[in-house]
Structures are given as C-alpha cells and as structure tokens.
Structure 1
Amino acid sequence: MKYNFYRLFINSFVFLFAGSSLIFAQDLDTEKKEKGVIEYQLRAGINIGGFTPIPIPAEIRELSSFNPMLNISLEGSIIYLFKQTPSSWGIRTGVKLENKGMKANSMVKNYRMEIIGGEGERVAGNWTGGVSTHIANSYITIPTLAIFKVNDCWSFSGGAFWSFLMDKNFSGYVFDGYLREGDPTGVKVIFEDDKTASYDFSNDLRKFSYGLQLGTTWQFSKHLNVFGDFSFGLNNMFKSDFKTITFTMRPVYLNLGAGYSF
C-alpha cells in the first residue's frame, strides 16, 4: 500500500510538472509571437509610366508616340510588424532614389506654349501642331505605408509618398504647326518642313511632390521577393506661379522589381 502510494505520488508529480512546463512553454511561445519584429529590405526596380494630366484636356488631340524610358529605383526600407504570426499588420518606411521620365510626341490645338526664338528670346502664345516632350527627373522619395501581411508569402501595402526633386529636365520642341502670339487671335508664326522651336520648363518644376502608393509583395523564399507598387501624384509637377501650361500634370507610375530581406 505504501509503495503504491509513493508511486502514485511520484507519477502525479511528474504529470503536473510536465503539464506545467508545457503550459509555460506555450505561454512563452505566445508571448514571443505577440511581440513585434523588425525587418530590413533592399529593393531595386523599374518605374514604368509618365507625367500626365487627368483627365486629358481638349487641347491634346492625339498621342502619336510614347517612350517610357529606363527609369531605375533603389530603395532601403525598414518594416515593423506588430506580431510575429504569419498574419500581421505593420508599417513600412525608407529612402528611395528613383528616376521618373518619358519621351512623348503629341498633336495639339490651341496649346499654351512658350518657345525659345533664334536669338534666345521667348515667345508665348497658343500652339497648334506637333509637340515633342522629354522629361528626365531624379527624386529622393520617402514612402510611409501601412502593411498587411496575409501569410508567409503575400503582403499588401498602402499609404503616401513624399518626393524631393534632385535633378530636373522638362524640355522639348514644337514642329509642323503654327503659333498664335499672345492669344488665339494673335500674329501667326508658321513652322513647317524641318523647322522647329525649342522650349524648356525645367526651372518651373516644383521641388516637392506627394501622392498615394499601393502595392503588393510576394516573398518566394526566406530572403528574396518580388513586388509591384503603383503611385499616383496628388500635386502639380509645376510651381503654382507657372501659367504657361494651364492644366495640372501628375506622375503616374508602376514600380516593378525585386528585393532582399535581411
């Protein structure tokens, strides 16, 4: 009887100790998963898109050619996930060096324009004919995004971006048309055959821009991922006192690329 009692006591003690250890380990594991985690990423991508008025104004009658150019982006970002579970919310920010540019030819009518004459003089008026535009800008961009991690593979992001203009170019030329100096009833200056006149609005570009960004990321291995981010500018690329182009032009770009997670 005494032996059986001691064996029952020892077995009960071992059972309680093992059960308590298991519960304690589960509590530690739950507590660990409830804590946040920080991730670091390096990203490289290509910006595909352009600067455009929305909606397209009546002055622009036809887009005859478009070249998105090779616009590279490099980004270092930091992600804070609120939990270490496969599904979690978080935030992401970082610093991105990126190019946004394009080349486009269009046919326009009564398009406000300021051309540079042969003597360097500037002549403003309403242009009807062809316009060739070349934009090549470089920015430092800071995204501020909310993250939703669906599982170990997929995550989605949304928020705002803030861009600071570093290098700038908005230039081009007009061709095969005529300029009405001053207003639509002004003196008619004809450009035909191979005659062109250049323009340059680079110094009229705004230094700071902002907008919205939405994206998704597919983490296909422990360290490697691919992503797509769509960004839409909310303010005009030109300064508020610039009156030559009368409509608002915004950057609209899709950034596609790959990243490395540390």
Structure 2
Amino acid sequence: MKHLKYILIFALSSATGTLQAQDLKELMKENRENREANYAKWGPTSDHDGMGYVVRAGFVLGGTTPLPLPKEIRKINEFAPKGGFSLGIDGYKYFNTRWGLSTGLRFFMQGMRTGAEVKNYNMAIVMGEDVVEGRFTGTDITETRMTGFTIPVTATYRVGARWTFNLGPYVSYWI
C-alpha cells in the first residue's frame, strides 16, 4: 500500500510535468511567431529580399580633443558643446534576419568652445599674410565649428527587431 501511494504521486507529478512541458513548447512557438512578426514589421526577414534604406536625423553632442591630452594644457576651465545636427541616408542588405551590410552618406554640423590654462603652448596667429608664431602661457579660448560628410561601410547585426549594432570603418570629409 505504501508503494502504491508513491507510485500514484510519481504518476501525477509526471503528468503535471508533461502538461507543463507541452505548455512551454506552445509558449516557445508563440514567442517565435511573435518575434518573426516583429522582424517583419521592423525590417527584412527571410521571406523578403533584405534590402532597404533608413533616413536618419539627429542631434550631435560632444566635442573634439587630441588624445592623449598635450602636457602643455594644465587645466580645463570651460567646456561647452555647441551641439549640432546630422542628416543622412543609409542603404542596407541583409543576408538573413540577423546579419547584413550597410553603407550611407551623412551630413553633420557640430561645434564646441573650450577655455584652458596652458603653459608653453606652441601657437601661430595668421592675419592675412602676416604670421606670428611662438609659445604662449595663459588662458587659451578655442572655438570649433565643423561641417562635413561621413560615409560609413559597416557590418550589421540585429540583436532584436528594433536593435541593430554596426561595426566598421567610415570616411569623413570636413568642409
């Protein structure tokens, strides 16, 4: 009688485990179908040709700096990014739902203003045809404005329907 009780408990728990496994398989199938529907909504899938384009518009933050920072710069007193914008278009070709190639053309404008304490900073001032060159100690104010074009050529990996990572070189031309 004791063994019958254990056999009955084991049989019931096995049946419950089987039901849970079937439910899990159905959930996994449903999840896969939802994922494929998201890929179809947000980009190419295996039943598409995997080609397309993306129009980009953005706001640029940040600035420029020589790395490593020159030893002549003793202290940075002010750093003010001027912001800017970026416009572009990228074309892509996916080979499957995850991997592909991308290239494009982007136009950008950005700038910054810095103020730094410098010592023995080599500078040249050009006014028309006159040039004054020498070493400077004091406060240097630098204002930068950059405008240009960038052409990226990247490998593309899609983590999910809305997340894409790009890795590769780019060429920029400043006007």
| Pairing of 1:17-166 with structure 2 (within 5 A) | 33=46, 36-83=49-96, 85=97, 88-116=98-126, 121-166=130-175
Structure 1 residue 74 displacement after superposition: 0.2
Output the TM-score relative to the length of structure 2.
0.69
Q: Supply the distance in 2 between the matched residues of 1:144 and 1:133 (Cα, whole angstroms).
A: 32
Structure 1 residue 153 displacement after superposition: 2.2
Structure 1 residue 122 displacement after superposition: 2.1
Q: Secondary structure of 2:46's partner?
A: helix
Q: Secondary structure of 2:61's partner?
A: strand
The residue identity in structure 2 corresponding to 1:70 is G
Structure 1 residue 92 displacement after superposition: 1.0
Q: Secondary structure of 1:50's partner?
A: coil
Q: Supply the distance in 2 between the matched residues of 1:38 and 1:154 (Cα, whole angstroms).
A: 17
Structure 1 residue 36 displacement after superposition: 4.2
Number of residue pairs matched? 131
Change in Cα spacing, 1:95 to 1:116, as seen in structure 2 (3 Å) is: closer
The residue identity in structure 2 corresponding to 1:68 is P
Q: Supply the distance in 2 between the matched residues of 1:71 and 1:126 (Cα, whole angstroms).
A: 33
Q: Please say if residues 34 and 82 of structure 1, whose CA atoms lie closer than 8 Å, have aligned partners that are also in contact.
A: no
Structure 1 residue 142 displacement after superposition: 0.5
Structure 1 residue 133 displacement after superposition: 0.7
Q: Please say if residues 59 and 109 of structure 1, whose CA atoms lie closer than 8 Å, have aligned partners that are also in contact.
A: yes
Q: Structure 2: state its 5+ residue gaps.
A: 1-44
The residue identity in structure 1 corresponding to 2:89 is G
Identity of aligned residues (%): 34
Output the TM-score relative to the length of structure 1.
0.47
Q: Supply the distance in 1 between the matched residues of 2:107 and 2:162 (Cα, whole angstroms).
A: 26
Q: Please say if residues 108 and 149 of structure 2, whose CA atoms lie closer than 8 Å, have aligned partners that are also in contact.
A: yes
Q: Secondary structure of 2:62's partner?
A: strand
Cα deviation 1:188-224 (Å, max 9, x = unaligned): xxxxxxxxxxxxxxxxxxxxxxxxxxxxxxxxxxxxx
Q: Supply the distance in 1 between the matched residues of 2:107 and 2:92 (Cα, whole angstroms).
A: 18
Q: Structure 1: state its 5+ residue gaps.
A: 1-31, 167-262
Q: Which structure's residues are more often strand, by fraction?
A: 1
RMSD: 2.0
The residue identity in structure 2 corresponding to 1:109 is K
Q: Please say if residues 100 and 137 of structure 1, whose CA atoms lie closer than 8 Å, have aligned partners that are also in contact.
A: yes
